[in-house]
């Protein structure tokens, strides 16, 4: 007696089961880069008013406090590429999360930044976020960008110049200004490159490629 062919739907289900099992195994594989192996840090300062124009319901965009630059992250970098999600074994203590709300005003942001980037630093969460604070405190925000009440348009080079004037330790190639790439370019982030001791250092060619190329960018005011 001939065996009946397996129906196409059952065969497809078997294939999906195998793929699903393979995906689960893949997700459990150890990360490619051990924590602590990187070349330098990139401090990313996000211009909150631009973000809030697109996401007004986000945590940092509600309430009475108006934010200018917030810390997006302190990212371990290679000269080419960067490590991510180097370990998922350590959780961020709640007191550490709450201690960062003045710089990173969304709980989810603090946790995400640890999982994606801080886990690659080779530091425990308290030490990593202490480094985030030291890195942020090492950068002076130019006075015109502390609390602007009106929108202005400036060339990206003028924003770089303002940071250089406010931070004599910076010479130019340690800082990158980025902007949105859709519609009218808006100030998005300022990146400052730091060595492992959190002293300024030249950004890699990869980091420099993120620089805003628009002739003018819009700087939305505090909301």
Q: Looking at residue 32, what is its pLDDT?
A: 64
Active site residue 89: no
| Bridge partners of residue 189, in order along the sequence | 46, 178
Question: Nearest 10 degrees: CA dihedral of 35, 41, 43, 44?
Answer: -70
**Region of poorest pLDDT, from 26-35, 77-86, 87-96, 133-142:** 26-35
pLDDT (tens digit per residue) in 176-196: 999 998 778 999 999 999 999
**pLDDT tens column, 113-142:** 999 999 999 999 999 999 999 999 999 999
Q: Which of 60, 72, 174, 191 is catalytic?
A: 72
Residue of 60, 79, 84, 113 marked catalytic = 113
What is the SS3 assignment for 21?
helix
Burial class of residue 13 in the structure, from the number of CB atoms within 10 Å of its CB (0-12 exposed, 13-18 middle, 19+ buried): exposed
Please determine, looking at this structure, whether the domain spanning 40-219 carries the CATH number 3.90.730.10. yes
- Residue 72: active-site member: yes
**CB-based contact 60:48 (threshold 8 Å):** yes
Q: What CA–CA distance (Å, rounded) separates 71 from 77? A: 17
Active site residue 113: yes
Q: What pLDDT, on a 0 to 100 scale, did the predictor assign at position 173?
A: 95
Q: Is 207 helix (H, G, I), strand (E, B) or coil?
A: helix
> Which range (10-14, 82-86, 121-125, 154-158) has the least confidence?
10-14
Considering 60, 84, 89, 117, which one is annotated as catalytic?
117
For the chain, the domains span 40-219
Residue 205 has pLDDT above 50, yes or no: yes
């Amino acid at each position: 007696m001939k065996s009946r062919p397996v129906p196409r739907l059952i065969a497809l289900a078997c294939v999906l089961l195998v793929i699903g099992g393979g995906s689960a195994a893949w997700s459990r594989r150890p990360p490619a880069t051990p924590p602590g192996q990187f070349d330098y840090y990139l401090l990313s300062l996000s211009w909150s008013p631009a973000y809030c124009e697109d996401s007004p319901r986000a945590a940092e965009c509600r309430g009475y406090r108006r934010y200018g630059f917030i810390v997006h992250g302190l990212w371990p970098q290679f000269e080419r590429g960067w490590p991510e999600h180097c370990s998922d074994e350590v959780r961020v203590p709640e007191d550490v999360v709450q201690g960062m709300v003045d710089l990173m005003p969304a709980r989810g942001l603090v946790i995400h930044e640890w999982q994606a980037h801080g886990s690659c630093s080779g530091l425990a969460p308290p030490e990593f976020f202490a480094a985030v604070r030291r890195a942020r405190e090492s950068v002076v925000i130019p006075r015109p960008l502390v609390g602007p009440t009106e929108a202005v348009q400036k060339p990206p080079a003028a924003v770089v110049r303002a940071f250089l004037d406010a931070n004599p330790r910076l010479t130019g190639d340690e800082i990158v200004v980025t902007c949105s790439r859709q519609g009218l370019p808006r100030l998005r982030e300022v990146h400052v490159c730091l060595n492992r001791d959190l002293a300024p250092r030249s950004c890699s060619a990869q980091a420099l490629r993120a620089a805003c190329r628009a002739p003018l960018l819009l700087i939305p005011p505090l909301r």
